[in-house]
Amino acid sequence: MFNYGVHLRPLDRVPGSARGDEAFFTTDVEMSPKAIVESFVRRWNIETTFQEARAYLGLEPLRNRTPNAVRRSVPMLLALCSLIVVWFARHVRRPDAWVRRTPWYRKSHVTFSDMLAAAREDILSELISSQSGAEPADKKTRGPAADHARTRHTAIRQPA
């Protein structure tokens, strides 16, 4: 019991954990330790979505002046997150081709930033290919960058 008169049920401690000590608790004394951890795990996807919306889509504290703007800003950004994920799931042929790997960070699955990069590259390749119709191609639609965009574009579109 703390000095505030609130009873807390201690859970377990993993000594030597790379993440350090973490505390999972609730003021509901009826919850079992398993239920406490399960409630934390259920929130993980929600917390990750907000973190990625802040990092990649600019979700920040609102400075809107009207009630309607406040009610629309965050839902629109979260809807954009959902649209990107749904677009990626429906239109990308080879998701593993979009896992961006670096020598210092190995990841085994596609992240939201990979999905966003795929959407950006798809939009850019559409712009490049739409401008290279009957007119002669200029310097911007030729060369390594345009070739790279066209190659990645084939990894996105599923056959009709």
CB 92 within 8 A of CB 32: no
For the beta carbon of residue 64, count every other beta carbon within 10 angstroms: 12
* Cross-strand bridge partners of residue 105: 102
pLDDT of residue 82: 93
Tell me the pLDDT tens digit for each residue of 89-143: 998 877 777 777 777 777 778 889 889 988 998 888 888 777 666 555 555 555 5
Three-state DSSP class for residue 105? strand
CA 24/CA 146 separation, integer angstroms? 50
For the chain, the domains span: 62-156
- Does residue 160 register a pLDDT over 50? no
Tell me the pLDDT tens digit for each residue of 4-57: 666 666 656 666 777 777 777 788 888 888 898 898 889 888 899 889 999 988
CA angle 97, 100, 102 (to 5 degrees): 135
pLDDT of residue 80: 93
- Does residue 150 register a pLDDT over 60? no
How far separated are the first and last CA of the chain, in Å rounded? 64
Q: 2-11, 75-84, 137-146: which range is least confident on average? A: 137-146
CA 110/CA 101 separation, integer angstroms? 10
CA angle 71, 76, 78 (to 5 degrees): 110
The dihedral through the CA atoms of 108, 110, 111, 113 has a sign that is positive
Supply 89's token pair: 């799931």
pLDDT of residue 31: 87
More confident call, 120 vs 61 = 120
